[in-house]
Chains A and B, each alone.
Chain A
Amino acid sequence: MTKSNPLVSIIKTLQGIGHRMVERIWRLGAGARLFFLTIVYSGESFKRFHLTMREIYSTGVMSLLIIIVSAFFVGMVLALQGYNTLQKYGSSEAIGVLVSLSLVRELGPVVTALLFAGRAGTAITAEIGLMKTTEQLSAMEMMAVNPIARVVAPRFWAGVISMPILATLFSMVGILGGYIVAVPLIGVDEGAFWSQMQANVDFQSDIVNGIIKSLVFGVACTMIALFEGFDAPPTAEGVSRATTRTVVISSLTVLGFDFVLTSFMMVI
């Protein structure tokens, strides 16, 4: 066995780090390019909106069950935990405000985006990755049909349209779950529950900001899923890795963006 030169191994490590950084920057650029082209070719897909409608069904409507069930449980847990703390200060009637503000401002958009990435994002990546593997995208190109206009843009807009609707539904169902736990089960006054919520939830700073967040998450999650599918190596392993990356990158992006957006919204 020859003894390895420490200088050589340091150089190799640095090369490895540099290579990975260059690759990540390249992927970021390629993702931005795909986003730009998707916007440019969106006009073509708007002309045939039925394609987007079909994707809204598969990404949005098909995600309804997981969104509604999760929202219901999240709302119920929020009410339980909130009541536990609020009653110590004698303000258990504020439970409605706590549940609604938590859902509308944060949990609605964030949890919906995380569930969306897991349910619809992975489906988008796997579908496009397999279309690439089975040469369906190449076939489209050879038929003089632009795959970005035909495949990517309708899915992108379907995700962007679906996300705020799903997040709004999440908040509504979550509030219902919170109500069921707080009012019939714990016995909080129903009038106080709703009136305090009505008095303290602001349309502009709470509801609209929540919708803005979910719109941004919709753009990010859908674009990440589309890019990962489009960029996946055309092998079974490549598609599998791309699907995993979609969930990991989308989740981290959503949580990071949430902090940034919340900071901006508090300043403004």
Chain B
Amino acid sequence: MTNNIVEIDNLSFGYKGRLLHKGINMVFPRGKVVAIMGGSGSGKTTLLRLIGGQIKPSKGEVRVHGDVVHKQDRDGIFKLRRKMGMLFQQGALFTDLSVYENVAFPMRELTDLPDSMIRDLVLMKLNAVGLRGAHTLMPAELSGGMARRVALARAIALDPAIMMYDEPFAGLDPISMGVICSLIRSLNDALGATSIIVSHDVKETFLIADYVYFVANGVVTAEGTPDDLMKSTLPFVHQFVHGDKDGPVPFHYPAGNYQTELLKQR
């Protein structure tokens, strides 16, 4: 039996006549933290949506636990999603529910657990992210980092086998970033889950990832362990990892001749 929890096989996806992914292959082994990196607009988040079955590929397939995601009916997709947890970029907390109710939400909706057990589980999850004391607060009263941690507690509420993180470090201060970083790794190891991180924050991602895929121009341009990629001489990887201003990814958006445009009569 394969050890890969999620497999992306020759996947292509596009919309409005533009192909965003052109034959992508990736595997996400059990118990590992795997990162998908690439510039803005390279289709990283779209890959998470394809894994979650929110959109269908144009070609190829995504398999979760061996089941082809886009061939499932609605019940089948929901069954697969119960094995998944997802941390959204802005947390996506339900603004009309308290921190406690947000974390309790998946338990109330998807299980028949009694209130007393839900209470214990919610407090355990909040304790794991260090926010047990904030359970009465409303999302509007939380800082960005706290909101992200509450969303993380909600994502792990039902102990998912697959955790997906969409830009988990974006817009956080260094302390919150460090907290989220260590939580992702420790929760993955504690739950025995498989984590997929979509990010463009090199330092934090390389610190916790076991394996990294680089996506650019719709294909996987490089892959390997963080150590391998740090030493990579591939121009794109070098530019991305070291944050060079210019390189294979140009600084300027494609445009006509600068001088001609300036001198053009209005």
Question: Interface range on chain B: under 10, 10 to 19, 20 to 34, or 35 or more?
Answer: 20 to 34
A141 at interface by CB-CB < 8 Å: yes
For B90, the chain A residues whose CB sits under 8 A away are 134-135
Is residue B110 contacting chain A, with contact meaning CB distance below 8 A?
Answer: yes
Q: State which residues 86-103 of B face A: CB under 8 Å.
A: 86, 88-90, 92-95
Q: A134-161: which have CB < 8 Å to B?
A: 134-136, 138-139, 141-146, 150
**Residue B109 lies at the interface, judged by CB distance under 8 Å to chain A:** yes
Are A143 and B105 also in contact (CB < 8 A) when A134-B95, A136-B95, A138-B92 are?
yes
List A residues at the B interface (Cβ < 8 Å).
Answer: 130, 134-136, 138-139, 141-146, 150
60-100 of chain B: CB within 8 A of chain A: 77-79, 81-82, 84, 86, 88-90, 92-95
Residues of A within 8 A of B54 (CB): 138, 141-142
The list of the 7 closest CB pairs from A to B, nearest first, reads A139-B92, A135-B92, A144-B78, A144-B81, A142-B86, A145-B109, A135-B88
CA distance A61 to B77 in the complex (A): 38
Partner of B109 from A130, A135, A143 at Cβ < 8 Å: A143
Are A139 and B81 closer than 8 Å at their CB atoms?
A: no
Pairwise interchain contact B95-A142, C-beta atoms closer than 8 A: no
What residues on B are CB-neighbors of A150 within 8 Å? 109
Give the shortest distance, in Å, between B84 (CB) and chain A (any CB): 7
Instruction: List 20 additional A-B contacts (Cβ < 8 Å) besides A142-B81, A144-B82.
Output: A134-B92, A134-B95, A135-B88, A135-B89, A136-B92, A136-B94, A136-B95, A138-B88, A138-B92, A139-B88, A139-B92, A141-B81, A142-B86, A143-B105, A143-B106, A143-B109, A144-B77, A144-B81, A145-B105, A146-B78
Complex alpha-carbon distance, A142 and B105, angstroms: 13
Closest to A149 in B: B109
B-side contacts of A138, CB under 8 Å: 54, 88, 92
Does B52 make an interface contact (CB < 8 A)? Answer: yes
Distance in angstroms from A228 CB to nearest chain B CB is 19
Nearest chain B CB to A143 CB, angstrom units: 5
Question: What CA separation (Å) do A92 and B20 show in the bound complex?
Answer: 75
Which residues of A sit under 8 angstroms from B106, Cβ to Cβ?
143, 145
Whole-angstrom distance from the CB of A104 to the nearest CB of chain B? 36
Neighbour of A142 across the interface among B52, B89, B109, CB < 8 A: B52
By a CB distance below 8 angstroms, the chain A residues around B110 are 143-145
Please report the number of residue pairs spanning A and B whose Cβ atoms sit closer than 8 angstroms.
44
Enumerate chain B interface residues (CB-CB to A < 8 A).
Answer: 52, 54, 77-79, 81-82, 84, 86, 88-90, 92-95, 105-106, 109-110
Q: With the chains together, A143 CA to B86 CA distance in Å? A: 8
A145 to chain B, nearest CB (A): 5
Contacts of A130 in B (CB 8 A): 95
Q: Which residues of A contact B84 (CB under 8 A)?
A: 142
Set of chain B residues within 8 Å of A141, measured between Cβ atoms: 52, 54, 81
Which chain A residues border B93 with CB–CB below 8 Å?
136
Q: 28 A–B contact pairs at CB < 8 A?
A: A134-B92, A135-B88, A135-B89, A135-B92, A136-B92, A136-B94, A136-B95, A138-B54, A138-B88, A138-B92, A139-B86, A139-B92, A139-B94, A141-B52, A142-B81, A142-B84, A142-B86, A143-B81, A143-B105, A143-B106, A143-B109, A143-B110, A144-B77, A144-B78, A144-B110, A145-B105, A145-B106, A145-B110
